[in-house]
Amino acid sequence: MPSAESHPRLRAEPPARSGRLARAAAWLFGLTVLVAVMFGAGFMWFVYRLPTSEIVLNQKAEGIVVLTGGASRIEDAIDLLARGRGQRLLISGVNRMTSEREIARLRPEHENIIACCVDLDRTAVNTITNATETRRWVMDRGFKSLIVVTSSYHMPRAMAELSHQLPDIELIEFPVVSDRLKAGWTHGPTLRLLFTEYVKYVVAVARMRVPAIDEIFA
C-alpha cells in the first residue's frame, strides 16, 4: 500500500506555499474592501455636492447650451436667454421630429427671441455627443464662455465631458433641480437614479484618462 509521501493527493501542502496563498487572499480581500469604501465615499461626495434648490445666476456668458432630457431644462434655458444671460442658445439632443414651433410653445411669451437666437442640435444622442456637438457650435460662433443647463444630478458628468472638449472655454453651471431631488435622495427610485448617474460619471472620467479608449468615443 503506497504511503502518504508517495501519493501526490495525500501529500501535505508545503507550509511556505500555504502561507503565500493566505497572504494573497488577505491582500485581495483588503483591496476589495478598500475599493468598496472608496466607491461608497465617492458616491456620498457626489450626492452631497448636488444642489437641492434652484440657484440665481447673475453671471453672463456669450453662449448658453441646454442638454435635453426634460422640458423644464429647456424652459429655464430660454428664460436665461430672454434675461440676457447669453447671446445665443443651443438646445442639444433635440428629437429629430421636434420642430422649432414646438420649442416655442414652451415659452410663447419669448417666441421672437426663440426664432432669432435659438439653434437646435438634432445629432447628439448622449452626453458624449452633446459635448462634441456643443464644441462645434462654440467653435463656429467663436464663443469664449458658456452657460451649461442640465439636471443637477447630470451636471458633474456633463461638465466633465464639456471641459474635456472645451478646455479653454469658461463654463458656468446652471443646474436644474428636479422635484424628486427636492423631496430627498433616499427614496428608492431617486437613489437608484443617482447611483446610476454616479457610475456613469466614474466611467466617463476613467475613460477620459485613457487616451486609447477615449479616441474611440471622440
Alpha helices, DSSP H, located in 83-187:
100-106, 111-117, 127-141, 155-165, 179-182
CA pair distance 211, 67, nearest whole angstrom: 25
Looking at residue 211, what is its pLDDT?
A: 74
Note the pTM of the prediction, 2 decimals. Answer: 0.80
Look at residues 194, 213, 205, 212 and name the one whose alpha carbon lies nearest to residue 49.
194
Residue bearing cell 456668458: 61
Tens digits of residue pLDDT in 3-17: 544 555 545 556 666
Looking at residue 38, what is its pLDDT?
A: 80
32 to 10, 37, 181: CA distances (angstroms): 34, 9, 31
Question: Is it the case that residue 39 has pLDDT exceeding 60?
Answer: yes
Tens digits of residue pLDDT in 58-99: 899 999 999 997 668 999 999 999 999 999 999 999 988 888
217 — pLDDT class (breaks 50, 70, 90): low
Mean pLDDT for 37-50 is: 83
What superfamily does domain 63-178 belong to in CATH? HUPs (3.40.50.620)
Question: Is it the case that residue 19 has pLDDT exceeding 90?
Answer: no
